[in-house]
Structure 1
């Protein structure tokens, strides 16, 4: 079964400057300004790093902390800090050369949440020994593989395709490096054609 990635056409802007970081009304989940400040050195990039380095990519508007908390509640997990930081920057990202959905939006019906739930349920029923539940599937590569990040042990990003038949490949330790590697490979493929 092939999974369609949602088209990010409504509300997409090219590298718009972002406003203030949202915070949760009750402060329960996290305080984004504090969390992002602490994440910057750890993750090696600032809140707008993607927009600074890839200004031609298509970016959705920033996601609110409430939308992130709602998505986490629907899945019953807490997103890794890096994924939360990316969603606070943009609710959906597409690279501009091949149109891969690097970051699936949270705010549309066919979102990251629905894809993740579908993969969890499908593989649990088909091959129960192949457990995808430690992964939240946030985007796709230019080679049509789905990317997931381990929410239990952040620092593990995988590529998965239904043709892999019960296997996945660890492709990196953080999302930014996975984006960078995939985009460079796409540029190399296009240059050799």
Structure 2
């Protein structure tokens, strides 16, 4: 394990949120799409379930995508801004099926603030651990999806959104066969 379990969960959520718009495809087009996404990610709490909330999540997604590929100083500034704007106050909580973990907003804070703070808290761990090189973009030429490399040997290069790794391996195999290797 590279990070605490709640940090890894939050980082995976960030990847999934960023990738909900990867490769020009919009997977959070409606409030219902957002409902499904939040259910899959285990997000609970107050919701307005309106277009403004969906728009705020789209804005957060854009912001997190920029932080995903940012240099350390830019990432720190973005993380600090997310925490400051949400008036984050970290606290240990235990609820539902989750053991002790950090929350930094109230249960009734706006969804974008809760999601942004969750992402920012996870990115704090990544930055402090000097592990930003684990935040990648898919190595496939035709894919711009985010990749989180939690492998021990830092070998993950392709996203989980499609079959990029398989396509790359098949192409490499065919190239080797064509060259007579």
Could you tell me the TM-score, scaled by structure 2's length? 0.31
- Which has a greater percent of strand? 1
Greater Rg over alpha carbons, structure: 2
